[in-house]
Structure 1
Amino acid sequence: MTYCVGLRLNTGLIFMSDTRTNAGVDNVSKFRKLFTWSVPGERVITIMTAGNLATTQAVINLLEERSKIPDERNPTFLEAPTMFQVATIIGNTLKECVRDQAGEGPVSESPFSATLIVGGQIKGMEPRLFLVYPEGNFIEASEETPFFQSGETKYGRPILVRAFDPAMSMEAAVKLLYVSFDSTLKANLSVGLPLDMHVYTADTLEAGIQRRIEPDDEYFNQISSGWSDALKVAFDALPDFKF
């Protein structure tokens, strides 16, 4: 399992994912699930992956391989003129990989499906954020739905629903993500540190702050313990039930 979140703020985009993959309690590994490409001054694109590891790795590798072989008739995701077309190319690539890996042959116990969160900005346009499904179709973040989650979403969702505001600062949004991920880590062992983060500021058109959050990260541990203490204080402050 995994947990990925993409936020669309008025000032840019923030992405965060864990790195844990598991095929049983005795087979736990770490793999990067957040990938960023930039053509400085022209575009920045970030993809986060959730689902079957072989499928997601195939998608990323295929996108990179095709980006090295220019084809005027079929622009790559690093050449497409709009983020909508970027999402379309990535969706088609995902659908292709799911179809090819689930084709004829031995039947796998686990599905070959995957879900992607895709975001970025192309020069002259606004930053955009998409959630891409295994079938290749996708939806776009909007004012009504300004963030996307994939993977193990239920434990970290309540804090996002209650507190996220697209007008909040980047610093506050990062703090919110730390709380959301801490809540998920506490509740589900299939999601684990380290975490990867990319903070993209709108109109910079270059990769922003990228950070790996390790188990000994001072700020993450401060947020984790502080959130636990704050919850206890808030709970004690609520009125007791009367029999």
Structure 2
Amino acid sequence: MTDPNSKPEPEDELAGTEQPFVAHLMELRDRLIKALIAVAVVAGVLAVYPGPGQLYDLLAAPLVAHLPAGATMIATSVISPFMVPLKILMLAAFLIALPVVLYQVWAFVAPGLYSHEKRMVLPLVISSTLLFFSGVAFCYFLVFGKVFAFIQSFAPKSITAAPDIEAYLGFVMTMFLAFGLAFEVPIAVVVLARIGVVTIDQLKSFRGYFIVLAFVVAAVVTPPDVVSQLALAIPMCLLYEVGIWAAKIFIKHTKAPDDEAESTEVAKP
């Protein structure tokens, strides 16, 4: 007989949503095709306007502005004048189409998530995208100008600077990736705190170690100049504090139903 005092089992939100493995593969294929179409459409538009050459000029502008009068960049490979602008075109197309790509990822995984997990994942996807773009913009508009001016101030007058375009592209991509990932520090802090790897108090006590770690990372991934190292390390330290603050709010608003029930029962006298 059923105990009248027993609590009913909570209904599984995902009951009846299971799909065969082949259906998952077909949906994944469709999502990938849509993401690739979005990138291809953006690439086509950028190829028409402003064009690969203009995109490269835009990317090279911070360095060209600090070259000596009459100095230009050079191409040491026969196909570099074609391949480098093409790579920049594809990179720009991917970044512009990134919201669509991430939406396709979200649409693929969302049916398999509980409601409290959806409340956790969607804000992380949106905020991580915005933070990555913020890191890239911070690097391009603020850091590059200071770094190139600092480097050129040390160049002897007997040396004419003529940077190679492929080397410059590699440098730019490395810096964009470094600053983009560095701006993801709040996301890493929130995720670690939310899944229970660390507590808020532990994050606070680790603050001093993280400052040292930030300067070590900046010294490794940036050029050997104090400007770029400080420009990377200081935002990382500030974003760590933002992550601790955000983790408190995030944990409070993304609890599972069982956790919320337990918290309510504990709060009762």
TM-score, length-scaled by structure 2: 0.24
Q: Which of the two has greater strand per residue?
A: 1
Mark the structure with the bigger radius of gyration: 2
The structure whose RCO (Cα within 8 Å, separation 6+) is larger is 1
TM-score, length-scaled by structure 1: 0.25
